[in-house]
Structures are given as C-alpha cells and as structure tokens.
C-alpha cells in the first residue's frame, strides 16, 4: 500500500539552496526536505571556492554587476543580476548568524576582516571563503540548524519519481511521488508548495567534477510536469579537474589560479597568454577551451597547474584540502605542478523562473543550480552560484510565506500504481545505456561542437530514449533507472538548445558558427514542453 504524507512545503534537494530556504521558512510552515542520498551528498558540500560579494573598500556592487554581465556574454538578465549582487552582503551576514566561520585576515592594527580571494572573471578580490572547503562549512552549519528545528522533517535516501500535477486543470503542483532507495517502496507526498533545489546535471557527461547524484533530476521532473526550460546549451566545463586515475572528479579550485597558479605544458611552457589578456584568470569557458585545444594540439593527456612559486606555508594555509588530497596521491604541490583537465562542472540553464523563483506552474518553485534565473546568462562567473542559492532561497521563502495562508491543503493524490510491472531480469541494460549516453555526450556535445556532432548525438539519443521508455514501462523503478530516465531528458534538452543556437556565445562553442552573431539582439533559448491532454 502506498503511504501518503502531507506537508505545507516539500523541498526536493538538501544543498545550500534547499536547506537555507527551509531554515528561513520553518517558523511559518511544516516542511519536508528530501535528500536523494545523505544531506551532505550534493554539490554544495564539495564546493571549494566560496561566495562572491563586493565587500572590499576598493570594490563596488557596480563592479560586481559589470563583471557578471561581461562573463554572461550578453544573455544575463540585468534585474536578476542586480537583485543577486545587491543581496550578497546581507546573505553573508545571515550565514555568519547561522554559525558559518569564514576565513579572516588580521590587519596591522589587530582588526580582523573577511579574507577575500580572487577568481576568474572578477576584477577584484571578492570571494568570501572558508579556506578551500567553503561548501562543506556552509553545509554543516545549515544541516545542524535544520536538524534542530521542530517544523522540519528530513528524509534521506529518497528519490523523487515524478511531480503530482492537478489532474483536472494541470495548472497546479500538488506534491510528488518518492522512492525509498533503501527498500524500493513508494510514498505519495502532498504539499501546498513544492520547491525544486536538486542542483545540476553534469553527470550527463563522462567526466565531471560533480558528485554522482548530479543527474538533472529537477530539470527532468519540471519538464515532464510542463515547465519551460532554457539555455541548456550552456554547460560549464571547469578548466582544472585533477587528472588522476584514483580521483576522477576532484576539483582544483579556481582560487589556486587566483593566488598565482600558472597553467603550463609538460615542458613548463605557459600558454594562456595566447588566448586572453587575463591569462589564467580569464572566464572559465575560455580557459577550458584553451586547455582542450592544447591537449589536442600536442597529443597530451593533460596540462599542469603550478603554484609552487608560493611558499609551502602559504599553500598549506590557503589550500589545506587540495594539498592533503594531492599529497595522499603522491603529489607535493609545494614542489610539483598539478596535472589537470577540463570536466563538466555547472549547468547554467535550467527551469525558467521569475524573480520570485516561481516557475510557470502554480505551486512550483525552483532555486539554485536547477533554475534559470537569468543571473548567469551564457556563462557563470566563479562563485556566483552559492550566492544565487542563498539569494533566491531568501526570495522564495518570503514569497511562499506570503502565499501559504491562502493555499488550500491538497485533498487528493493519485496512488502509485505498479500492478502491471515486474522485477527486471536485465538491469545491466541500465548500466550500459548510462555509459553510452555519457560517452557520446562527451564526444559530441562537449566543449567544442559541430552540427554533425550534434546530429550524431541526437540520433543515438532517440534510440536510447525508446529503450529506456520501454524499460521504465515494464519494470519496477530503481534509483539508477530514475536517474537514467532523467539524464536522457537532460541530454535531449542540451542537444536541442545547442542545435538551435547558430552562433558561438559563452559556453556554447561550435566550429560551424565560431563567432557571436551580432546581427540580432541576443536571445535566450527557451523550450516549451508539449502538455499531455
């Protein structure tokens, strides 16, 4: 029998966005926070860099806005950028109130202030951080706070299967079906409001800095429910992922380049001066393409990032996590350069929202990496992502608090029907399809694209879609199957968006149209789902 539970607000995702919204809203609502694995399993926990905020005396909000617009390559929404940047200082103070301990520096007169790093695309030092484990520090504080609140229920090891939409009007979300990934039992959750805070979709690629759960679940859930999706062609590849067989997804923070790290070829030659005036501190898309080009041109496995000109004490104080992780693998970065390659890192597009974090379906909000707010445009500037999580979680929490009293409690949720399916006897199909999908996405829809590559990818995708749909219709759901089902949707959205953009802009680079199209006003790529009758 399917269990049915009712809450005011269902938050799907337990990263910075989901947990900060729950914390802000808990005094006004009964909240269920869903985590696919553990509360600390998402991308936030692994974030190294920090949170961008114009706090230095030589910096300004106007400069932060302009840097964001420049990196976004003409597609940022100015209002979204202004709202986010202007809210940065307030949200940093809120995190400090939640117990987050950021790295500080002491002046000659003994006064202390936040230490600020500089990262790619930024014209000033403005990255507030907790050494090189900012995400972990933020996550732990938020987790401690939500665990202590009586109005918040935390549900780990549960994966969202589908959103429940009002079956009469299809104009309002009523909840979701959840799969307990431990015993494979299904729950029906009804809620006045559902918030998607599921993170990104970089695991659609063979190589990624993201944790394994970054499978685009929220994007796929929203698409199937009838939401607009935008700008999925803009998948950000982080330039510097550690190249090592035992650590295939360990990120080397951009702050290493911000503190003087130089990109070099195996013979020690620097190369970024050939690609951009800001060299190693150029926007991520430029650095990633430069590294990709050098690797292909020279037929090498990787390039190297060298920060050994800094003192051992400086490196160990500023990058303790990176230092210890590399040391455990036999690399002393105080004396050796770090082997690095680009890897899929951040989803700049996603579920279209307004400036209140609302989607085009009533009762459904999206915050954090799953959402397309207009902040990032065609390319995300470093450390604007955690900031976006915080700002739009605050905005959404305030809006939901105003809306809740007038929203009736859903009185009906269709029961989950699995009476016509059976246990699979060929689960190897899921693993094989997953591997094939990630391989052709990396080969054909990666850092550099062409029309022919995109066409090849779509052809292979259509075959996979049919196989996965047939498999899903006939067998009991598992977490692996749900993730594969979602990844196929994400892959199709990326390919369709990429095929429709006949220019190179930001993170989307195609050899067939290598320049920005200046003949028309820059436009976002928006996909509208076909609603079922």
Q: Rounded to the nearest 5°, which phi and psi values hold at 263?
A: -85, 130
Query: For residue 389, what is the enclosing H or E element?
Result: helix 385-403
From 284, 325, 501, 505, the catalytic residue: 284
Q: Is 248 an annotated catalytic residue?
A: no
The rounded distance, in Å, linking the Cα atoms of 72 and 68 is 6
Give the span between the Cα atoms of 237 and 251, in whole angstroms: 11
Q: How far is CA 314 from CA 129, 168, 256, 308, in A?
A: 16, 62, 11, 10
- Contact between residue 311 and residue 164 where contact means Cβ atoms under 8 Å apart: no
| Paired strand residues for 196 | 12, 366
Measured between alpha carbons, how far is residue 437 from residues 236, 334, 383 in Å?
A: 18, 39, 29
Side-chain-side CA neighbours of residue 178 (13 Å): 28
Structure tokens at 406: 């007038």
Neighbours of 274 (CB within 10 A): 10
Is the backbone of residue 216 left (phi > 0), alpha (psi -120 to 50) or beta? left
Helices vs strands, H then E, count in the chain: 15, 20
**Nearest alpha-carbon partner for 459 in 491, 419, 415, 421:** 491
- The enclosing H or E element of 401 equals helix 385-403
Give phi and psi for 16, each to the nearest 5.
-55, -45
Q: What angle do CA 508, 509, 512 make, to 5 degrees?
A: 125
Q: Give the containing element (helix H, strand E) for 11.
A: strand 3-12
Backbone CA torsion sign across 54, 60, 62, 68: negative
Eight-state DSSP code of residue 380: P
257 CB contacts (<8 Å, ≥6 apart)? Answer: 119, 120, 240, 263, 280, 281, 305
φ/ψ of 195, rounded to 5, equals -115, 120
User: Catalytic amino acids?
Assistant: 284
């Amino acid at each position: 029998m399917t269990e049915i539970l009712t809450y005011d607000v269902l938050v799907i995702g337990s990263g910075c966005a989901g947990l900060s919204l729950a914390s802000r809203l808990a005094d006004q609502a009964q909240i269920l926070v869903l985590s696919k694995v553990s509360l600390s399993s998402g991308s936030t926990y692994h974030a190294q860099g920090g949170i961008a905020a114009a706090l230095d005396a030589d910096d300004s909000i106007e400069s932060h806005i302009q840097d964001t617009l420049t990196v976004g390559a003409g597609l940022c929404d100015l209002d979204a950028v202004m709202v986010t940047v202007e809210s940065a200082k307030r949200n940093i103070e809120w995190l400090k109130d939640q117990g987050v301990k950021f790295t500080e520096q002491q002046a000659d007169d003994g006064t202390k202030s936040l230490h600020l790093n500089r990262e790619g695309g930024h014209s000033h030092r403005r990255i507030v951080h907790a050494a090189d484990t900012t995400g972990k520090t933020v996550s732990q504080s938020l987790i401690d706070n939500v665990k202590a609140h009586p109005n918040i229920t935390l549900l780990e090891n549960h994966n969202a299967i589908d959103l429940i939409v009002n079956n009469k009007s299809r104009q309002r979300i009523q909840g979701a079906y959840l799969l307990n990934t431990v015993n494979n039992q299904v729950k029906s959750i009804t809620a006045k409001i559902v918030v998607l805070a599921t993170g990104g979709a970089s695991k659609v690629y063979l190589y990624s800095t993201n944790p394994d759960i970054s499978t685009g679940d929220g994007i796929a859930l929203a698409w199937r429910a009838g939401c607009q999706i935008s700008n999925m062609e803009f998948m950000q590849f982080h330039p510097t992922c550690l190249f090592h067989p035992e650590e295939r997804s360990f990120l080397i923070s951009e702050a290493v380049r911000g503190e003087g790290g130089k990109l070099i070829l195996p013979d020690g030659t620097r190369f970024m001066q050939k690609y951009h005036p800001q060299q190693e501190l150029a926007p991520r898309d430029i650095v990633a393409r430069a590294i990709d080009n050098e690797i292909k041109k020279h037929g090498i496995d990787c390039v190297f990032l060298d920060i050994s000109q800094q003192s051992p004490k400086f490196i160990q104080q500023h990058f303790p996590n990176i230092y210890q992780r590399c040391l455990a693998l036999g690399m002393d970065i105080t004396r050796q350069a770090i082997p690095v390659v680009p890897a899929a890192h951040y989803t700049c597009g996603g579920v279209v929202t307004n400036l209140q974090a609302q989607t085009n379906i009533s009762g459904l909000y999206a915050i954090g990496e799953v959402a397309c707010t207009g902040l990032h445009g065609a390319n995300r500037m470093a450390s604007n992502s955690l900031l976006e999580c915080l700002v739009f979680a605050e905005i959404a929490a305030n809006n939901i608090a105003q809306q809740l009293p007038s929203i009736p409690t859903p009185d009906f949720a269709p029961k989950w029907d699995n009476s016509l399916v059976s246990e699979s006897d060929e689960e190897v199909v899921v693993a094989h399809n997953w591997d094939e999908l990630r391989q052709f996405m990396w080969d054909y829809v990666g850092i550099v694209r062409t029309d022919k590559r995109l066409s090849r990818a779509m052809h292979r995708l259509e075959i996979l879609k049919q196989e996965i749909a047939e498999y899903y219709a006939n067998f009991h759901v598992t977490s692996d199957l749900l993730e594969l089902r979602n990844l196929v949707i994400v892959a199709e959205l990326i390919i369709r968006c990429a095929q429709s953009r006949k220019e190179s802009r930001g993170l989307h680079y195609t050899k067939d149209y290598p320049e920005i199209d200046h003949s028309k006003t820059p436009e976002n790529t928006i996909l509208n789902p076909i609603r079922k009758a």
